[in-house]
Amino acid sequence: MSAIGLGQAALLGIVEGLTEFLPVSSTGHLKLVEGLMNIPVDDDAVVGFTAVIQVGAIAAVFVYFFRDIARFVTAWVRGLADRRERDAHDYKFTWWVIYSTIPIVVVGLAAKPLIDGPLGSLWVVAFSLIVGSGVMWAAEQMARFKRGEDQVTVKDAMIVGCSQILALLFPGFSRSGATISTALVRDLDRMAATRLSFFLGLPALTGAGLYELKDATSGGVSASALAVGTLVSFVVAYASIAWLLKFVARHSFNSFVVYRIVVGVVIIGLLATNVVDA
């Protein structure tokens, strides 16, 4: 019997698609919803399921930003073949994305027992949501919005890429929240910060989903539930990406700060009253 039913898979796909790229923590929301549905969140198959449906959301990024990604890959291939093409910003940027992924891969593999164990607690999620909100608010105050995407440097990419480790170790902090906040502190404008967050997340999130595939398909979760969750995640994430890019063009991230604090307090209340297990 599957640990996750089709209806549950669809709901989790919606949650994943809505929250993966918004700075509100998809991991935190998924753990909360799984807890409310009495899904065993510490089951390897369930952990694998939540990682794999991320691939649906990541696929939405590949489709939405297809022209940009094709441009990066083309520039990278040209640079590999012709030394004269290596001064192109797109060629360099592609390498920067690769370089910036290495730290999170190393930390992720080394700290996996902690991430899947004590750091996966809903208590950690709740306090990470609240603390991360403070970081996001501070980043908004410090930001100067001086530079656009074409002015991103290797230092920007490495620092912003390494900030993903915060979300890896402290689910609830939010990968997009950490990367966007760090990019804002680096004086990138909101659109450049958001797009950089998308591109830097592609290798790590895709790799995580493929790595966990073995657990998700080990028999604990049915193939149909996995397919439904991934497909729903893709559709909802595509719409979420389009909305977020329009939103950041005119608004600050302060509304997300308030929302995160409310969710964090709600989770603490649910834990304190034993409505959900940590």
Report the number of secondary-structure helices (H) and strands (E) in the chain. Answer: 13, 0
Whether the CB-CB separation of 12 and 53 falls below 8 Å is answered with: yes
CA gap 44, 54 in Å, rounded: 16
pTM: 0.88
**Which of 156-170, 216-230, 261-275 is least confident?**
216-230
Give tens-digit pLDDT for 69-95. Answer: 999 999 999 999 999 999 999 999 999
Helix (H, G, I), strand (E, B), or coil: what is residue 147?
strand
- The CA-atom distances, in angstroms, between 144 and each of 50, 133, 149, 196 are 36, 19, 14, 17
- Model confidence band, residue 155 (pLDDT cutoffs 50, 70, 90): very high
Our CA angle for 49, 53, 54, nearest 5°, is: 120
Predicted local confidence at residue 214, as pLDDT: 66
Q: Report the chain's mean pLDDT, rounded to a whole number.
A: 89
Q: Tell me: the pLDDT tens digits for 47-56?
A: 778 878 888 9
**What is the rounded CA–CA span in Å between residue 174 and residue 192?**
18
Distance CA 241, CA 253 (A): 15
